[in-house]
């Protein structure tokens, strides 16, 4: 009898905690400005990943505070130091596992490619084509070790704070190549009217996934597993297909 009463108490306590978490505690979630995945428009943060995260949390009956936007490097420092519960959209990087839970389910696939001016003066077929060239990269991004090792030894690397700066420099002829995520790069080209720049889509540097990551000291792994399961279910529904078409109308394979 005591065993049954104790068991019932434990179950009730777990249910109470889960309910309290979902109903009373609002998660702190941050991101950077990285359209079309997360965009600041008229004082509101929206975008493909923003809406996907919000919808998944809504289906879990979990409240989140208004999402705040920071430069990526600062956002990652906030994540590592425990100033926030979650951060999106992050690629997988092994060093982040020390402080962050990665869900099993990614938000979306994310190909990273080389970009160059479409003027016929340069070509890219392998990393060797980057030798002695000016390469624009973004501080804090998780490029591949192969790319980093090659360009540091063989190229002139110029690091900046964001992709828009690199695309403007590329358009002006101040750098020869940049490496950027495909969806974000296409958005920048369209919004900034930089039509003379092209992506080398058939030779990606890497094809990664974009994730929301959770701080290990603030969020239990069991919650991350719940989020992953709910996200996987959502991605099997028409909602996900419609959302992708809205933000990536020309990228059916994403």
Q: What is the pLDDT of residues 165-185, one digit of tens each?
A: 999 999 999 999 999 999 999
Provide the mean pLDDT of the chain: 88
Pairwise CA distance, residues 48 & 143, whole Å: 22
Whether the per-residue pLDDT at 238 is higher than 90: the answer is yes
pLDDT in tens, 20-59: 344 468 999 999 999 999 999 888 999 999 999 999 999 9
pLDDT band at 7 (very low <50, low <70, confident <90, very high): very low
**198, burial (CB in 10 Å: exposed 0-12, middle 13-18, buried 19+):** middle
Q: What is the pLDDT of residue 109?
A: 92
Q: How much is the pTM?
A: 0.75
178, 143 in Cβ contact below 8 A?
A: no
Nearest to 84 by CA among 28, 36, 32, 37: 28
pLDDT band at 249 (very low <50, low <70, confident <90, very high): confident
Q: What is the pLDDT of residue 3?
A: 39
Within 10 A of 66 (CB to CB), how many other CB atoms are there?
9
Q: What is the pLDDT of residue 251?
A: 54
Backbone φ, ψ for residue 133 (5° rounding): -110, 160
Length of the chain: 254
Pairwise CA distance, residues 38 & 88, whole Å: 9
Nearest to 163 by CA among 71, 49, 89: 71
């Amino acid at each position: 009898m005591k065993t049954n009463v104790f068991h019932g108490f434990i179950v009730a306590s777990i249910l109470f905690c889960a309910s309290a978490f979902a109903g009373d505690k609002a998660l702190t979630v941050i991101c950077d400005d990285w359209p079309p995945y997360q965009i600041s428009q008229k004082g509101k943060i929206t975008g493909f990943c923003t809406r996907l995260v919000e919808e998944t949390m809504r289906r879990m009956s979990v409240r989140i505070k208004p999402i705040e936007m920071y430069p990526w490097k600062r956002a990652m420092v906030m994540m590592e130091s425990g100033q926030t519960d979650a951060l999106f959209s992050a690629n997988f990087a092994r060093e982040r596992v020390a402080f962050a839970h990665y869900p099993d389910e990614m938000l979306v696939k994310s190909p990273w490619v080389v970009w160059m001016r479409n003027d016929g003066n340069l070509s890219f077929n392998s990393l060797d084509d980057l030798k002695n060239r000016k390469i624009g990269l973004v501080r804090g991004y998780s490029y591949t070790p192969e790319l980093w090792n090659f360009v540091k030894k063989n190229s002139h690397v110029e690091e900046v704070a964001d992709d828009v700066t690199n695309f403007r420099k590329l358009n002006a002829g101040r750098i020869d190549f940049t490496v950027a995520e495909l969806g974000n790069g296409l958005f920048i080209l369209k919004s900034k009217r930089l039509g003379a720049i092209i992506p080398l889509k058939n030779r990606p540097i890497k094809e990664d996934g974009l994730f929301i990551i959770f701080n290990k000291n603030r969020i239990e792994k069991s919650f991350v597993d719940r989020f992953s399961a709910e996200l996987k279910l959502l991605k099997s529904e028409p909602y996900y297909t419609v959302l992708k078409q809205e933000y990536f109308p020309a990228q059916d394979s994403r």
